[in-house]
Each structure stands twice: as C-alpha cells, then as structure tokens.
Structure 1
Amino acid sequence: MIVSPNVHKYSVKNQDQVVELILQIQQEEYNIAITKEDQPDLFAIEEYYQTGNGNFWVALYDGNVVGTISLLDIGNHQVALRKMFVKKDYRGATYKTATLLLKTAVNWAKECGVKEVYLGTTPQFLAAHRFYEKNGFISIDFHDLPSNFPVLQVDKKFYKYVCFETV
C-alpha cells in the first residue's frame, strides 16, 4: 500500500530541502532562468509567508520534502497562492501530494476568513492549469487581479478561488 506524504507547517529545519526542491523544478525541469538570489522569500519564509492569513507548508515523505505550498497575505481578506511545487516522483494520483497541499492551504484560508485565493503561473505549466481548474480555480484575466496581488515576471496566466461569496 502506498502511503501519502504528510503535510506540515514549514519549519526552518526544512529550509535547505525547500530551496533545493524549488530550484531543481524551476531550473532543471522547466528551464526557467531563475536563481535562489531572485527569490529572497525562500530565505525568510517565516517573516514573508507565515504572517497574517499567510502560511507555508511542506509535504514530507520519509522525512524528505517532496512538495511545498504557501499563501501570502495580500490584505483585504485575500491571499496569493505561491511556491506550489511537487517533486516529479510524487505527482499524480498515487501519492496525491498536490491535492493534500492544496486542500491544506484552502482549508487554512477558509478558517482564517479569507474570501479569495489568487495565483499566477507560467503558460508552460499545463498540468498545473488542469489541476487548479479541477480543484475549483477559475481562470481570470490579468486585469481582474486585485491591485495588491504581487505579479511575478514569469506569471502570465492567472486564477482565482472563491472561499466565501461577498454579499
């Protein structure tokens, strides 16, 4: 029987594995020209993500980081989903790593009273697009993003998840 990874809140003891996983996927798998120096948030996760309605989680399998996800509090009861990465061998229905990570983040957002979760991604992440859409995210235009959403240079496709309808 295959056991799924366990999702935990980020701890500084996960730092090196988080950076290694994210850079490996960005640089080697998707050939994105980005360095750790381009991502100072990876070296200040607690200060950058784990404040307000934000948080950062890791998926651990046998003590190793095999996935990450974070929510960045952008104010107005809104968050930006960031740093969603799953090691290639742990993707898909066998381990359900991405689903576990996303459910953890969405449940956290709802518990915190967040109204909407926004995310930006790159056009080449086609499997990610299908995954987000399957999990209730709707594709939106750049102009439909809240003004407080921090757009990254690589972000060209955007999504929104509604936790609670505003009246």
Structure 2
Amino acid sequence: MQTPAPADIQVSRFEPADQQGVIDVIVPIQREEFGIAITAQDQPDLKSIPDFYQTGTGDFWVAKQGQHVIGTIGLKDIGARQAALRKMFVAAPFRGRELGVAALLLNTLLEEALSRGVKDIYLGTTDTFLAAHRFYEKNGFTEVAKAQLPDSFPVMAVDSKFYVRRC
C-alpha cells in the first residue's frame, strides 16, 4: 500500500509561474546525477511547456511543497489516443516510498490520461536508471522493443529502454 504524501505536498497543473522551478528541478538531476551534458536551452520543451505539453490529451504537472517545485511529469499527446510520458523528475530529498511524490505524480498523470481517452502511454529511459525501471514496472508498464514504438513517439538521444502502459 502506497504511503500518502505529506499534506504539504500537492500536485497541480503547470502554470507559467512554475517555469523556473521546473528547470531548477530537471536540469541539475540530468547534469549532476546522471552526467548528461544538457542545458535548459537544449530542451526547448522546457521553455514552452503550455505549447509543447498542454495540448490535445497532453498536460504537465508539478509536485510542490508550499510554493517550491519538487517534482515534474509531462504527458505529450502523440496522436491516435497515444501519449508519451516525459520529464518525470523528483528532487533527491523528496524521493522514496515514504513520501510518495513519484507515485502521486504518476497517479495524477494516469487518472488524467484515462479521463482524456488515452489508450497507450509510452516512455523512454536509459539502461542505467534501474530504480526508474522498477518503479515503472511496479506501476503497470511493460518493456517494449524500440521497433514496437509508434512512429510518432519522440525518441530522445539518451533513450535506450522503452515501456508502454495500456489504459
């Protein structure tokens, strides 16, 4: 049974005021924890979240403690009632089953996707994110070969392992 997140941690739909907080969570994790030489400028979706994610069946959510962004998750509409899970990041002090921030973010995305008629959610990750693999698998995602991805799936250069969840 998932432990509920502390009362002061809330998930809400991205608003423009969250922009810098999103960048401040994502980029340091990419660069410092995972050693990916990437900047916010290399990720145009981070500068235009409403236009990139919040269209069609897609959306973007943030987890906050007070007004501080501590986690992110995006759903990118890729057509044909399919979507891509993108930009799922939780700041290190807020990770783990005890706080449940990742589960709170994912459950928000899954509930919204279902209510919007999404039938398949795909994601890409790297071979080295073992904790992420376990998390996705525990939450109903199954591994798929790259060749099984829809043509519209936005494969990132760092992606080497792929998953799908049928809604």
TM-score tier (shorter): over 0.9
Aligned to 1:138: 142
Q: Secondary structure at the match of 1:93?
A: coil
One-letter identity of the residue aligned with 1:149: F
Alignment of 1:1-167 (within 5 A): 2-3=6-7, 5-163=9-167
Query: What is the alpha-carbon distance in structure 2 between the residues aligned to residue 150 and residue 6 of structure 1?
Result: 29
| Unmatched segments (≥5 aa) in structure 1 | none
Deviations 1:24-58 (A, max 9, x none): 10001111111112101000000100000000000
TM-score by length of 1: 0.95
Query: What is the alpha-carbon distance in structure 1 between the residues aligned to residue 16 and residue 22 of structure 2?
Result: 10
TM-score by length of 2: 0.95
Deviations 1:129-152 (A, max 9, x none): 000000000011001101110100
| Unmatched segments (≥5 aa) in structure 2 | none
Percent same amino acid at aligned positions?
51
Q: Secondary structure at the match of 1:143?
A: helix
Q: Secondary structure at the match of 1:149?
A: coil
The size of the alignment, in residue pairs, is 163
Query: 1:93 deviation in Å?
Result: 1.4
RMSD: 1.2
One-letter identity of the residue aligned with 1:152: M
Query: What is the alpha-carbon distance in structure 2 between the residues aligned to residue 41 and residue 89 of structure 1?
Result: 25
Query: 1:3 deviation in Å?
Result: 3.5
Runs of 4+ in 1 over 6 A off after TM superposition: none
**Contact 1:120 1:156 survives alignment (8 Å):** yes
